[in-house]
């Protein structure tokens, strides 16, 4: 095969569409997304906008690529009732597949009471919740654990499973072992060995591959999974099967 990074069929469990300004200065549009998916054998992308104010841009991409994109509504809990109502509108009327929260960017703690109405809306529509994980003081794994404890029947994905800090990565694994409604997504998490550790200790169905475009390159994220120490059937779980089952595709 010409592209070794295309060897496994994949679902990208976390990427973005749109432009991020300072300090990132990166952009990712629908043509870039389509090319990336074709090059790296990505069947579907669980996609977020570039900010809580840009869900309309994601809707446009979803309408262009309905068979490839699984859209998540990015909601800012600080905006209160108008944000809750718009979230419900997108889940009900546009059939968005789930909820995305970025406590670090939007400035609220993952276990804030302001998040509870969002969780209730997710429960009402039977949708999962994806939460950025790994940055103090807003998105630490223990805060997400407290949220999971309050909402035990709602599946929650810890995006980046602690990100770049070894203690937060370990904390994410510990929280996922404690609460069975917590799942782990691995984009941007630098320790390949912890992908294997999570797969074996948290559960073989609860660890998912992601890229986090446009911040990370697919080859880097794919190589980290390929080299983590799992065998081919286990890699198929991480690259495809777990996200497919989680999102109700199989």
In angstroms, the CA 246 to CA 102 distance is 20
Q: Which of the four CATH numbers 3.40.50.280, 1.20.1050.10, 3.20.20.140, 3.40.50.2300 does domain 7-246 have?
A: 3.20.20.140
Q: Does the model's pTM come out above 0.95? A: yes
Q: Mean pLDDT over residues 170-183, rounded?
A: 98
- Residues 51-87 have pLDDT tens digits of 999 999 999 999 999 999 999 999 999 999 999 999 9
Give the pLDDT confidence score for residue 250 in this predicted structure. 74
- Residues 2-54 have pLDDT tens digits of 899 999 999 999 999 999 999 999 999 999 999 999 999 999 999 999 999 99
Residue ranges per domain, the chain?
7-246
pLDDT for 1 beyond 70: no
Q: Mean pLDDT over residues 88-110, rounded?
A: 98
pLDDT band (50, 70, 90) for residue 198 = very high
pLDDT band (50, 70, 90) for residue 139 = very high
Q: Mean pLDDT over residues 133-144, rounded?
A: 98
């Amino acid at each position: 095969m010409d592209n070794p990074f295309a060897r496994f069929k994949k679902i990208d469990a976390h990427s973005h569409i749109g432009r991020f300004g300072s300090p990132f200065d990166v952009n990712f549009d629908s043509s870039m997304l389509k090319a990336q998916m074709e090059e790296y054998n990505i069947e579907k992308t669980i996609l977020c906008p570039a900010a809580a104010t840009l869900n309309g841009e994601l809707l446009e991409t979803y309408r262009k690529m309905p068979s490839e994109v699984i859209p998540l509504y990015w909601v800012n809990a600080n905006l209160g009732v108008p944000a809750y109502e718009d979230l419900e509108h997108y889940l009900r009327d546009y059939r968005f597949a789930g909820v995305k929260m970025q406590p670090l960017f939007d400035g609220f703690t993952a276990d804030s009471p302001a998040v509870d109405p969002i969780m209730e809306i997710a429960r009402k529509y039977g949708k999962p919740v994806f939460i950025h994980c790994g940055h103090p003081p807003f998105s630490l794994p223990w805060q997400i654990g407290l949220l999971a404890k309050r909402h035990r029947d709602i599946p929650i994905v810890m995006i980046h499973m602690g990100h770049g800090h070894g203690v937060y990565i370990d904390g994410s694994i510990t929280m996922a072992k404690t609460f069975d409604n917590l799942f782990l997504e691995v984009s941007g998490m630098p320790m390949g060995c912890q992908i294997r550790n999570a797969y074996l200790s948290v559960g073989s169905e609860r660890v998912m591959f992601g890229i986090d475009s446009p911040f990370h390159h697919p080859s880097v994220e794919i190589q980290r999974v390929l080299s983590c120490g799992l065998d081919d059937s286990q890699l198929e779980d991480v690259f495809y099967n777990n996200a497919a089952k989680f999102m109700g595709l199989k």
